[in-house]
Amino acid sequence: MKKSSRRDLGTIGENIAIKALKDRGLKILWQNFRCRYGEIDIIAKDNQEIVFVEVKTRKSGSYGNPEEAVNSAKKKKLRFLANHYLALNYSVVQPCRFDVFSIILDSYNQPISMEVFKNCF
């Protein structure tokens, strides 16, 4: 089986997360929102709440759980990016939250572990 690049792995994880979020009733507003400051993996809407989702995908847990890669610097950057997105797209304050979607894949890129950490920062 061909070894996946980091980008491929990220795309696979994001697609798995999008399906799971849709299955849970969330509306996907944007995948890979990019601006000069960085990128947000997924922006969704859960009822009236805007949800900023960081997806972390790994092939194993040997270097720790995927969600552990969302450190304080990453959280700070995501908050900044979310504020930028909100300022561009909404004229009034929107309720929002930050979720982390943690996925571990097997050698066939199928999820063996998936966990969502809702409103985690």
State pLDDT tens for residues 35-77: 999 999 999 999 999 999 999 999 987 778 999 999 999 999 9
H helix runs in the chain, sequence order: 6-23, 72-89
| Residue ranges covered by each domain of the chain | 6-117
DSSP E strand boundaries for 1-121: 27-35, 38-46, 49-58, 96-105, 111-117
Q: How far apart are CA 72 and CA 90, in angstroms?
A: 26
Q: What is the pTM of this model?
A: 0.92
> For residue 1, what pLDDT is reported?
45
Q: Are 35 and 77 in contact (CB under 8 A)?
A: no
Residues in the chain: 121
CA 78 to chain CA centroid, Å, is 10
Q: Domain 6-117 adopts which CATH fold?
A: Trna Endonuclease; Chain: A, domain 1 (3.40.1350)
3-state secondary structure of 118: coil
Mean pLDDT on 78-87: 97
Q: Mean pLDDT for the chain?
A: 93
